[in-house]
Structure 1
């Protein structure tokens, strides 16, 4: 006696034997060319506040001064430090940030500062009024140099009680958010997240110049 016929293997069944699919290569979201996952440009799509991957050629198209008011804006590559900023312990407490890191950018469409901080759920927006952030940052040199939508002021409250302030590309901040989300454990983030944070800010410090040093000669 023969048993019941074995069903033919459908697409789902075959996928079990095919193994995991290789990851799709990253591509320029404007022209479709494959880009390096470690070293490609980003644009900001200003209407959606979204980062867009771009190849070198497409990135250069939006790097010109005339392209700064369109739908896409190229993310710059400058890192600035302000060792003399005035964000002391009292000012940091005013901001009521539950973690030791926050970043702010000026949204051109809203014409105001938007403040976010890393969390296990991703980038979380501060509920404080923009005027509070303006009052804390208004006297700093970097706030006046900030390019809307594409650069951010990155604040870090260090274990020794200092608050560092850097002007950085906006995509760097979201890269930090992603790293924190991957490594976060427990209530305070855990040892791996703290180590990643320390390494990240060491890299920022190495790349950062003061506004005077970055000024073209």
Structure 2
């Protein structure tokens, strides 16, 4: 006996709704202890073995605030923004670095014992292939380079017309900028939306920086 016609009908759309509706946002959790993180900003750790960032709650971040804690695999990213009023870089110096865009950041890789230079691009963070000796010659005279914490802080350069600004910043915000540029980049020069986001980002950095003269090494 054949089944009643009504039993062979296709399911109504309501039966598939749970598969087509956007999934509810997942709670962000600390990647060490699995504690739920606040909706606002939270701390990050650098996994120096895997070279990745890990989200962390405040107690876990404090455990790794000192270099060498728990074997040295994780290091907490500090929350300081510094500038050196006496540092002056011009277009000639920038040309030595051969960075094709107006933004770059340098950090000291403790395992390699040298600077690594990266800049944002449509493909993400792109590493400069310039000889490290050139970076060293440019950065060696900077007091910011003298207090830079390896792996967790970066020297962030921003070139505008006739001027190159340099700030010491937490390394996680550099990768945040890379992600934002990758998301917004359009065309050859990035497009208006990417330029606006870049301006907002550096306005935020400028609002937080303190002179290196007024602070000590953490």
Q: Which has the larger radius of gyration?
A: 2
**What is the 5 A alignment of 1:70-149?**
70-149=72-151
2:56 is matched with: 54
SS in 2 for 1:142: helix
Residue from 145, 152, 172 that aligns with 2:154: 152
**CA–CA separation in structure 2 for the residues paired with 1:114 and 1:78:** 20
1:166 is matched with: 167
Work out the number of aligned pairs and report it. Answer: 212
Q: 1:83·1:164 contact (CA, 8 Å) conserved in 2?
A: no
2:206 is matched with: 205
**CA–CA separation in structure 1 for the residues paired with 2:46 and 2:66:** 14
SS in 2 for 1:117: strand
**CA–CA separation in structure 2 for the residues paired with 1:125 and 1:66:** 27
Gaps of 5+ in 2: none
Supply the RMSD in Å over aligned alpha carbons: 2.2
Query: Judging changes above 3 Å, is the alpha-carbon distance between structure 1 residues 69 and 213 closer, same or farther for their aligned structure 2 residues?
Result: farther
- The offset of 1:195, in angstroms, is 0.9
- The offset of 1:25, in angstroms, is 1.4
The normalised TM-score by structure 2 is 0.89
The normalised TM-score by structure 1 is 0.90
**CA–CA separation in structure 1 for the residues paired with 2:137 and 2:147:** 16
**CA–CA separation in structure 1 for the residues paired with 2:197 and 2:73:** 34
Q: 2:66·2:75 contact (CA, 8 Å) conserved in 1?
A: no
**CA–CA separation in structure 1 for the residues paired with 2:89 and 2:133:** 15
Provide Cα deviations, 1:131-154, integer angstroms capped at 9, x if missing partner. Answer: 111111111111111100000000
**CA–CA separation in structure 1 for the residues paired with 2:70 and 2:181:** 31
**CA–CA separation in structure 1 for the residues paired with 2:184 and 2:210:** 29
Q: 1:86·1:140 contact (CA, 8 Å) conserved in 2?
A: no
Provide Cα deviations, 1:139-170, integer angstroms capped at 9, x if missing partner. Answer: 11111111000000000001x22000000000
SS in 1 for 2:210: coil
Q: 2:83·2:168 contact (CA, 8 Å) conserved in 1?
A: yes
**CA–CA separation in structure 2 for the residues paired with 1:14 and 1:154:** 47
Matched, 1:31 2:33: yes
